Amino acid sequence: MPQNVPWFVRARLKTRQLMLLIAIDEEGNIHRAAETLAMSQPAASKLLKDLEDMLGVSLFERLPRGMRPTWYGEAMIRHARIALASLGEAGAELEALKGGFAGSVAIGAIAGPAMSLLPTALARVAREAPELRVSLLVESSDVLLERLQQNRLDFLVARLFEQHDKTHLQYQALAKEEICAIVRPGHPILERNRLDLPTLAKASWIVPPEGSVLRHRFELMFRGAGLQPPRHVLSTTALVFITKMLQESDYLAVVPVDVARHYAGHGMVKILPVELSCQMDSFGIITRSDWLLSPGARKVLEALQRAANEVYGMPR
């Protein structure tokens, strides 16, 4: 066979071999991996051996109690996930086209832009491409980035922090996210003439979970002023629960300004007239440089960029 033919063609690489690599990585054991793929262990062992012989490297370390990917194995597993996910996307797109749709697009966003940006963009998509099926996941940046790496989302509106692996990511900054405090209408704290950190430190708060960036900065805001952070806290990011809990109690909640304005506009909450120093970093559009967007995803991305220009004054 000519040498200019791609290696995977010369090797007669099978999708089942790629599936086996991923299964061994997830199960840590070739016996369990074979079971998940409904094949015998000898057949799985032969598939793996054929692939390793062809590549000329060991893809897994054989340990007393399982198997662990080598550096070669980690590289192959990563590309196997991308290849299989791409094939899955191709099948889903073809099925959607046969069903009269123009494909499916899955995007993720943090809470602030999910309120201020996504409705404008997705309303435009609904008008211009009503055949597109779009799903939106609203979560923290860490969760969204993990889903993006797993090929479960096409692109994000989220943050990138120092600890995130940016090797295969492209980032287009959009805006900074301001933070504020909200309470129920009629809350006693609204009657105070002056609000300061010592007063806020004594209040009961609904805050993001421990380990989140906002929770860390919220606590640092008090410590930086020589105060202990509020002791009576309830941790959650569920906005439906937060707004209901505020109505039923005297809790305060720390949320993005865009979220607060939405609920305040419906008379559900009041924004406290106090400036909080626990502001968040910029967020932006995150895409993968090693992944080609479908035509439908590109259309949604373009609508998002146009909406960002209107909402945040960003260039298209």
Q: What percentage of the chain has pLDDT greater than the value 70?
A: 91
Residue with tokens 């035509």: 295
Q: Report pLDDT digits (tens) over 18-29.
A: 899 899 999 988
Residue 185 pLDDT > 50 = yes
The CATH number of whichever domain residue 185 belongs to comes to: 3.40.190.10
In a domain, 117, yes or no: yes
> Are both 302 and 235 inside the same structural domain?
no
What token pair was written down for 58? 């060991």
Distance CA 24, CA 68 (A): 8
Distance CA 99, CA 102 (A): 9
> Are both 299 and 165 inside the same structural domain?
yes
pLDDT band, residue 124 (cuts 50/70/90)? very high
- Residues 254-275 as b/e (b if ≥16 CB within 10 A, e otherwise) read bbbbbbbbbbbeeeebbebebe
Count how many Cα atoms sit within 13 Å of the Cα of residue 70 in the half-sphere of its side chain: 8
Q: Report pLDDT digits (tens) over 35-45.
A: 988 989 899 89
What token pair was written down for 2? 């000519």
> Are both 170 and 294 inside the same structural domain?
yes
Question: What average pLDDT does the segment 141-168 reach?
Answer: 87
In a domain, 255, yes or no: yes
**Among 240, 246, 314, which Cα is nearest to 284's?**
314
pLDDT at position 102: 61
> Are both 16 and 82 inside the same structural domain?
yes
In a domain, 2, yes or no: no
> Are both 121 and 242 inside the same structural domain?
no
Residue 137: C-alpha distances to residues 101, 110, 277 (Å): 21, 8, 28
Higher pLDDT pick, 12 / 174: 174
Q: Report pLDDT digits (tens) over 236-273.
A: 989 999 999 999 999 999 999 999 999 999 999 999 99
- The three-state secondary structure class of 286 is strand
In a domain, 143, yes or no: yes
pLDDT at position 100: 47
Distance CA 56, CA 315 (A): 49
pLDDT at position 99: 54
Predicted structure pTM score: 0.64
pLDDT band, residue 7 (cuts 50/70/90)? low
> Are both 45 and 65 inside the same structural domain?
yes
- Within 10 angstroms of residue 3's Cβ, the number of other Cβ atoms is 6
Choose the final residue of a domain: 72, 97, 122.
Answer: 97
> Are both 253 and 118 inside the same structural domain?
no
pLDDT at position 266: 93
pLDDT at position 82: 81
Q: What percentage of the chain has pLDDT greater than the value 90?
A: 47
Distance CA 39, CA 36 (A): 8
> Are both 172 and 183 inside the same structural domain?
no
In a domain, 1, yes or no: no
In a domain, 81, yes or no: yes
> Are both 289 and 147 inside the same structural domain?
yes
What token pair was written down for 17? 């071999």
The CATH number of whichever domain residue 17 belongs to comes to: 1.10.10.10
> Are both 306 and 245 inside the same structural domain?
no
pLDDT band, residue 162 (cuts 50/70/90)? confident
> Are both 14 and 92 inside the same structural domain?
yes
pLDDT at position 29: 87
pLDDT at position 316: 44
> Are both 56 and 110 inside the same structural domain?
no
Distance CA 89, CA 102 (A): 13
Distance CA 41, CA 46 (A): 9
Number of domains the chain contains: 3
Choose the final residue of a domain: 97, 120, 152.
Answer: 97
Choose the final residue of a domain: 97, 118, 135.
Answer: 97
In a domain, 276, yes or no: no
Domain with 149, as residue range(s), is 103-176+281-312
